[in-house]
Amino acid sequence: MKSKQQLDKLIKKSRADLYKPIAVAEILYRHRKENLNIDNVNSYRRQSYGWMQDVIWQLHRKTTQLNSRYWDQLFDEAVLPPKLIQELAGFNVENNGLVEVYIYAHVQGKYRAFTELRQRLETMPTDKFSLDLFLGFFEKNAKYRGSVDKAYEIAVYALFNTVVCELKATIKLSVVESSMLLLQEFEDFARLVLGIDMQHLNIEKPARLFRVGTANANDAGLDMWANFGPAVQVKHISLQPFQMVEICNGVRADQLIVVCKTSDAKAIQTVIEQAGIAEKLRGIITKNDLEIWYGKCFQPQYRNTMGRQLINSVAEEMKLEFPLAVSESFEKFFTERDYSDKILQGDWDVK
């Protein structure tokens, strides 16, 4: 059954939330229950996005924003074209929603694995953790490989945030004396935007980093930002010079830090100098750099402070990125839909 083969490929390649497989399940559900015209792709091409969002909110209490071009790729000939959706729909009706249950069983299983990983992290001794161990969970299992870029982002953020906090770094903001009259004129603006007013001409805050979001499958080129200046782009790939130019041109920030797996630093430096954007790139961080810094955090003198905080930060970001803590949401959803995983047998068993 070609439609099932394509569906399995889609599930395997999808990120943690399985946005597109969920959309397929919702198309099939509405065809089975509400007589959706499955022969007309325009009756579900755009609507399926909203149906998916409703389910994501019901299961995870979070929202997502995906661009239309990314979404339309679901119905491409190489992914799951309308003729194969029709084939799935017919089989689904004949078997009392079996394909819907199959898809949601995959979603539930993936989140259960992420929950178990997070729980292990929360109790893991500091001498047992390593960056390779954490990333390996995603890289070495085909079921979870689609989320390795998010895992890499989590690992980067956890490290950056832990070290910056442990350094107790601060940033200062002030207004020069020659601007006092202007400050008085725009005091309401300065208070709201800068946090400064006539009574507070200087402020000092802890240096912090923030992730831009946790569930965007097509981000615009920014993963983290710092209240002390640079933007951070995380790429779980080996960067080529032309890609670095695209990244630098795509992020509107004075300075940019790029984190990747590996890079040809000399070639990249030559190309960005030729492109006139060398001053914008503060630096390139590779996985090798991350491994060295992670190792330092788990040295005996730092293990119980920075090491423990680093593991806790990874676990907390896992919770935010993959928020389904236990199975209550799925149990309620399955009950409301009258789904039963007992029908998943043979080729449709979820292993």
- In the Cβ-directed half-sphere of 240, how many Cα atoms lie within 13 Å? 2
pLDDT for res 89: 95
Q: 135 and 77 in one domain?
A: no
Please check whether residues 94 and 175 belong to one and the same domain. Answer: no
Amino acid present at 146: G
316 domain-assigned: no
Residue 291 and residue 331 share a domain: no
In terms of domains, do 140 and 248 share one?
A: yes
Residues 89 and 50 in one domain: yes
**Confidence at residue 16, expressed as pLDDT on a 0 to 100 scale:** 65
pLDDT of residue 279: 85
pLDDT tens by residue, the chain, 351 residues: 899 999 999 988 887 678 899 999 999 999 999 989 999 999 998 999 999 999 988 887 777 777 777 888 889 999 999 999 999 999 999 999 999 999 999 888 887 888 888 889 999 999 999 999 999 999 888 778 878 888 999 999 999 999 999 999 999 999 998 999 999 999 999 999 999 999 999 999 999 999 886 444 444 456 888 998 889 989 888 888 888 888 888 887 888 999 999 988 888 888 888 888 888 888 899 999 999 999 999 999 999 999 999 999 999 998 888 765 445 778 888 889 988 877 888 889 887
Q: Output the DSSP codes for 163-227.
A: HHHHHT-EEEEE--GGGHHHHHHTHHHHHHHTS-BTTB-EEEEE--EEES-S--TT--S--EEET
Q: Which domain covers residue 147, as residue numbers?
A: 130-168+209-297
> What 3-state class would DSSP assign to 338?
coil
The two counts, helices (H) then strands (E), for the chain are 15, 9
Q: Is residue 41 in a domain?
A: yes
In a domain, 350, yes or no: no
Q: According to the model, what pLDDT value does residue 215 have? A: 44
Q: Are 62 and 111 in a shared domain?
A: yes
Tell me: do 263 and 135 sit in the same domain: yes
Residues 142, 189, single domain; the answer is no
The answer to whether residue 314 is domain-embedded is no
Q: What are phi and psi of 7, to 5 degrees?
A: -65, -45
Residue 313 within a domain: no
pLDDT of residue 60: 76
**Sign of the Cα pseudo-torsion (171, 176, 182, 185, in order):** positive
Q: Is residue 123 part of a domain?
A: no
Domain check: are 86 and 234 in the same one?
Answer: no
Q: How far apart are CA 302 and CA 317, in angstroms?
A: 21
41 and 11 assigned to the same domain: yes
Strand order in the sheet with 224-226: 209-211, 224-226, 231-234, 256-259, 281-285
Q: Is residue 250 part of a domain?
A: yes
Assess whether 47 and 184 both reside in one domain. no
Considering the domain architecture, whether residues 160 and 259 belong to the same structural domain is answered as: yes
Buried b (16+ CB within 10 A) or exposed e, 323-346: bbeeeebbeebbeeeebeeeebee
Tell me if 348 is assigned to some domain: no
The CA distance from 34 to 28, in Å, is 10
Residue 213 has what pLDDT? 63
**Structural domains in the chain (count):** 3
Name the domain boundary from 178, 206, 234: 206
